């Protein structure tokens, strides 16, 4: 009998409601479902706390410390498993260590091959640049380095040219097309009858968001966009279709329809012409009172980068009138993985104006659900959404993050308003884009991606393993729509091309 391949996973605990945890569940849950006789799994579970799922393999939590008031905290010196790994690796004696995280959080695992008895596979969530060039020398100690997109792979190579390209490739997250499925219009209305709050009309046009309140997510733009959509304080150009906003003064709580000072508009602008093409053929927009923003985001997160009540006040939007937070979603409560598909089935569009993503699992799940996505043209999610022609792209500017210097996209709000209006007034367009997304992700189903991971772990598809031969290079181009050719070209040319 062939002995089982023993894998030690170092990743966020699979019980958590995070993208990394969900991807970990998909990869290894599928592995056990289809090849349980071939694998023995163990995991060092980072941030092992709030549980929304039952683990299917043993979890070893990282160390904790007790505060003065008796409250328990994660130990700062073991936050990424630095200490726990040394203990567990000698106990488990794995054949493979699979580490899934941001590159800077994996350095402690990067040991020379001749100093360890196991193969080291790194699965990198790269969502920003610059990455220190010296990181390449450290990451090279792994046997195999995989990123979550071609964009991330190109970004990593451009920032760390010392990385051995023969060790580097990319592999998308599995697409759970069985759990995330589209519904008919009748089924959607039935769900809305059961789940929408009393104040929200059943025929509303719902913009959804899934994510945390973090700087790189740029959630404040969502509040600004819904403000303009619902109040209608902007012009629409009859020639180019562009949107020109009336400046909003958050201190006075009013729009400056005749600017007394320059806020966002160019100096001397008189609100008498399109800011994009200069045409005088402009029309005042009507308020779209049946558009609402639904946020799947903890509203009580003490680490949130924006106080949500301040955003609501600053952009004159109200809970229970303009925006809605998923009931029960908070710091110590979240939806179970089995409940997440229902959100996408309730919505009309995913408004995904994130500043940067290592992959962008909510957009991936939306595509599985045949839900169109309005998205920023920066980082990994723009790659697969563009290739699939599964949504409408929104441009913006790149701005460096204060603490890290990572570049994040600040979405252009007029462009976002234009995109929402296109889907609002052309529902068939939304269905077409959603269908494109659903068709695209079928190429990356749990079954297909699961077999790719199985081949990797069995040493049959990479030259770093001594046996077998490669039957497919992960970077091979799958079938895709012509509309995505530009996105693919940008993805191959490095991170600066997305600016």
Token pair listed for 471: 């039957």
Rounded Cα distance, 445 and 140, in Å: 30
- DSSP for 373-411, written as a single string: EEEESSSHHHHHHHHHT-EEEE-EEEEE-TTT--EEEEE
What the block records as the tokens of 181 is 């499925």
Q: For residues 410 and 349, what is the distance between their CA atoms, to the nearest angstrom?
A: 20
Report phi then psi at 197, rounded to 5: -65, 160
CA dist 278 → 62, 238, 261, 265, 499 (Å)? 59, 11, 20, 13, 25
Backbone angles phi, psi at 124, to 5 degrees: -100, 135
Rounded Cα–Cα distance for residues 372 and 465 (Å): 40
Domains and CATH numbers, the chain: 5-174+445-481 (3.40.50.11930), 185-232+286-442 (3.40.50.2000)
Residue given tokens 């329809």 in the structure block: 257
Structure tokens at 257: 């329809």
The DSSP symbol for 443 reads: G
CB atoms within 10 A of CB 114: 6
CA dist 4 and 29 (Å) reads: 16
CA-CA distance, 61 to 371, in Å (whole number)?
Answer: 36
CB 122 within 8 A of CB 99: yes
Nearest alpha carbon to residue 97 among 31, 143, 149, 137? 143
CA 34 to each of CA 56, 451, 468: distance values in angstroms, whole numbers, following the listed order: 14, 9, 21
Spatial strand order of the sheet with 243-245 comes to 243-245, 234-237, 282-284
Element (H, E) at 98: strand 96-101
**Helix segments in 200-333, DSSP class H:** 220-231, 308-314
Give the relative orientation of helices 361-368 and 19-35 as an angle to the nearest 10 degrees. 60
* Alpha-carbon span 154 to 148, nearest angstrom: 11
Residue-wise pLDDT tens for the chain (499 aa)? 788 999 999 999 999 999 999 999 999 999 999 999 999 999 999 999 878 889 999 999 999 998 888 888 899 999 999 999 999 999 999 999 999 999 999 999 999 999 999 999 999 998 877 788 889 999 999 999 999 999 999 999 998 999 999 999 999 999 999 999 999 999 999 999 999 999 999 999 999 999 999 999 999 999 999 999 999 999 999 999 999 999 898 888 888 765 566 567 666 677 889 989 999 999 999 999 999 999 999 888 888 999 999 999 999 999 999 999 999 887 777 888 999 999 999 999 999 999 999 999 999 999 999 999 999 999 999 999 999 999 999 999 999 988 788 889 999 999 999 999 999 999 999 999 999 999 999 999 999 999 999 999 998 665 433 333 333 333 343 333 333 333 333 233 222 222 2
| Alpha carbon separation from 10 to 86, 322, 436 (Å, rounded) | 12, 41, 35
H/E element holding 86?
A: helix 82-92
CB within 8 A of 66, min separation 6: which ones?
72, 73
| Dist CA 47 CA 78 (whole Å) | 10
Angle (nearest 5°) at CA 374 between 373 and 379: 95
Joined together, the tokens standing for residue 106 give: 């994996």
Measure CA of the first residue to CA of the last residue in the chain; give whole Å: 54
71 Cβ contact partners less than 8 Å away, ≥ 6 residues apart: none
Token pair in block for residue 68: 């003065």
What's the pTM value of the predicted model, to 2 decimals?
0.90
- The per-residue pLDDT for 260 is 60
Distance, in Å, from the CA atom of 294 to the CA atom of 195, rounded to the nearest integer, reads 12
């Amino acid at each position: 009998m062939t002995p089982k391949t023993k894998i030690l996973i170092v990743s966020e605990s699979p019980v958590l409601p995070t993208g990394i945890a969900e991807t970990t569940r998909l990869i290894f849950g599928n592995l056990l479902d289809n090849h349980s006789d071939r694998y023995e799994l163990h995991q060092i579970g980072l941030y092992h706390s709030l549980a929304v799922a039952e683990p299917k393999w043993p979890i070893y939590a990282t160390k904790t410390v007790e505060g003065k008031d008796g409250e328990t905290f994660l130990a700062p010196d073991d936050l990424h498993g630095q200490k726990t790994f040394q203990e567990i690796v000698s106990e488990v004696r794995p054949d493979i260590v699979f580490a899934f995280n941001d590159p800077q959080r994996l350095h402690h695992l990067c040991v020379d091959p001749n100093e360890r008895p196991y193969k080291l596979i790194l699965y990198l969530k790269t969502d920003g640049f610059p990455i220190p060039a010296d990181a390449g020398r450290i990451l090279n100690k792994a046997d195999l380095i995989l990123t979550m997109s071609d964009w991330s792979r190109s970004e990593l190579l451009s920032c760390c040219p010392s990385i051995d390209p023969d060790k580097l490739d990319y592999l998308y997250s599995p697409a759970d097309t069985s759990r995330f499925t589209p519904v008919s219009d009748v089924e959607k209305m039935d769900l809305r009858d059961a789940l929408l709050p009393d104040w929200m009309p059943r025929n509303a046009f719902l913009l959804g968001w899934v994510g945390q309140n973090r700087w790189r997510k740029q959630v404040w733009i969502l509040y600004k966009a819904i403000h303009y959509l619902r109040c209608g304080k902007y012009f629409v150009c009859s020639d180019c279709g562009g949107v020109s906003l009336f400046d909003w003064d958050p201190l006075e709580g009013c729009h400056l329809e005749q600017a007394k000072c320059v806020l966002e508009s160019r100096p001397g602008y008189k609100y008498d012409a399109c800011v994009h093409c200069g045409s005088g053929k402009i029309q005042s927009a009507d308020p779209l009172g049946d558009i609402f923003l639904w946020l799947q985001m903890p509203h009580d997160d003490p680490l949130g980068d924006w106080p949500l009540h301040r955003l609501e006040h600053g952009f004159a939007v109200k809970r229970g009138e303009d925006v809605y937070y998923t009931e029960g979603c908070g710091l110590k409560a979240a939806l179970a993985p089995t409940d997440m598909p229902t959100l996408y089935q309730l919505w009309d569009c995913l408004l995904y104006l994130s500043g940067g993503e290592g992959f962008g699992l909510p957009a991936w799940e939306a595509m599985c659900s045949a839900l169109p996505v309005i998205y920023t043209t920066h980082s990994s999610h723009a790659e697969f959404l563009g290739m699939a022609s599964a949504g409408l792209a929104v441009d913006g500017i790149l701005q460096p993050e204060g603490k890290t210097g990572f570049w994040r996209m600040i979405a252009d709000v007029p462009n976002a308003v234009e995109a929402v209006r296109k889907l609002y007034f052309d529902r068939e367009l939304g269905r077409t884009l959603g269908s494109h997304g659903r068709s695209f992700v079928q190429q990356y189903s749990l079954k297909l991606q699961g077999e790719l991971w199985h081949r990797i772990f069995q040493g049959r598809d990479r030259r770093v393993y001594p046996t077998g031969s490669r039957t497919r290079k992960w970077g091979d181009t799958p079938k895709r729509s012509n509309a995505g050719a530009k996105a693919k070209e940008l993805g191959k040319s490095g991170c600066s091309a997305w600016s």
